[in-house]
Amino acid sequence: MSLSCSLKSCSSIQSAAPLKPAAKTRQQQHSPCSSNPSSQRITCKRYPGALLSLPLKRGAFLGCTVTLHSTHDQQSSIRSPQRGVKGQHRKVPAAKLTLEKETQTQAKHGGEKEGLELPPGSLGLPIIGETLELIRSLNPENPDAFSGPRQAKYGRIFKSNALGRNFITVSGPEAAAQILTNEKLYATEWPRSFKPLIGEHALSMTNGPKHKYLRALIANPLSLENLKTYVPLIERAVLSLLDSWQEDTILKAHQEMRRLTFNVISELIFGAKPGPQTERLSGHFDVWVQGLAVLIPIDLPFTKFGKSMKARRAILSEVAQIVGERRTALRNGEPVPNDILTRLLTEKDAEGRQLTEVELSDNLLNLLFAGHDTSASSLSIIIHSLGSRPDVQQKLRDEHARIRSGKAAGEPLTWQDVRQLAYTDQVISEGLRLRPIVGNAFKVATEDTTMYGYRVPKGWSVNLDYRAVMCRDSYFPEADQFRPERFDEKLKPYTFLPFGSGERQCPGSALARMEMTVFLYHFLHLWDFELTNPSEETVFVPMVRPKEGLPLKLRRRVNFQ
């Protein structure tokens, strides 16, 4: 989850009907995977007279009865016991029993989906699929090392198998519309490390009625009316940070952005001022976030994931202390801050329900994470991009000067001022597009369906690739260039999705946009800066950030208007 997204929502698409078949590429036409429905197979090791179970995903197995004859040249048969599928007997060599791809995945076929092929691609080796290829492709500086070559070969949709899961990776605004407007057909399913680290009761981890119930309670403190009251707090935090910087020094800007955003979200949630407690919490999050990038989460003291889980327990311990003190103050009728915690402790939904203790803990952790790491990453990307575009810096300063011209010296920003900074909003949007903080939406098909003319079986994971659209020339000309003016034009729906859409759009997105706007307004007014390494690379795992921490040379501006 992230707390950043557009204040101007994309136009909605009215229908999420199955997508029309796409024209096959030359590679697809000659690919045995796409032209022969029975070409993807998984080998069963021979166990005479036994029931063979193959793990397809956590908690689910594929069973098949295997009968072997004694002579080497005789044939053996496989019978699929899947409910709803008529058992089929296939004659295959005894040395190599196979399960057709349909018996791997489908519990039923029907209607227009019957007879459709799976998307092109490869399910890899028996049992392990393409897990080894996925592991070999891991590169924190190239998040598309696995999917990129496959998209180049197969196009906007391909299939694979890794880590015990069959999955489909898909891109394009049509697919985004189909997936993001149909929560019942495409339920959210995060990577395995996310749920134990974030918490199974966190808003971003839930689906269906539980998600709607949590969203109703958690989104209210982040509503437009409440956002207006947060501007003074954010401005104080920004000015405090900028005043602490020293001239003619090298400053690691990314760490400063993390410090700013954590101080802001801590005060918004708990009313906590910067101090030992916020420093401890921030340190725990530094360790905690590393576990999100773990492919196989093993909770042992010496593993990265185990250390992250230990950090989670430390975070929850700090949070529990704060919550306990606040509950006591409320019971005793003592004055308390009108912050997010107070609202979550006192507000009820339409049916009179309040958050349980575990729901409160998981969602406070989720808010703390989403409210600082993602916003810090976005600000760092924007600062880096501005470093090589003095013309954009000047346009921003000109826009900000127009706001200042109507104010007395030192007069604070207001919500109305923030809303008038249209070009600043475009700069933020371009930073979010250029280096999306959330590159994918992870879903699972709850029913058999179709996409781009291919079959998507029930139970398969569906990975919607945001980056493949937002960073593609066909939707954003010169996509690798930082061009805020591109947002002068109307965008095609579902092409700009830095933080989701529909029911899953981050509820705190406008808060982070406001935070970034206030920072840029004061930063460019008070400081000139120079990138020490204009070609600094970006790291995408576990969070998007400049590889070297974004070192800047600072010079205080004195003769500004």
Binding site as annotated, residues: 506
d(CA 517, CA 295): 35
d(CA 465, CA 458): 20
Q: Which residues of 299-323 are buried (b: 16+ CB within 10 A; e: fewer)?
A: eeeeebbbbbbbbbebbbebbeebb
Torsion 493-494-499-504 (CA) sign:
positive
Query: What single letter denotes the amino acid at residue 526?
Result: L
**Helix or strand run (H / E) with residue 235:** helix 224-243
- Euclidean distance between the first and the last CA atom of the chain, given in angstroms as a whole number: 39
Q: Which two tokens stand for residue 17?
A: 């009907």
Give me the sheet containing 527-531, strands edge to edge: 250-252, 551-556, 527-531
- Helix spans in 440-497 (H): 467-470
d(CA 6, CA 509): 7
- Asked if 52 contacts 63 with a C-beta cutoff of 8 angstroms, the reply is yes
> 232 preceded by cis ω (within 30°)?
no
Nearest to 177 by CA among 340, 12, 407, 375: 12
Binding residue positions for heme: 506
Query: What single letter denotes the amino acid at residue 29?
Result: Q
- Helix spans in 465-508 (H): 467-470
d(CA 294, CA 270): 30
d(CA 359, CA 463): 27
308-313, long-range: CB within 8 Å, 24+ apart, which pairs? 308/193, 308/197, 309/196, 309/197, 311/284, 311/285, 311/287, 312/196, 312/197, 312/288, 312/365
| Neighbour tally for 498: CB within 10 Å | 26
Q: Which two tokens stand for residue 229?
A: 């009251």
d(CA 318, CA 550): 30
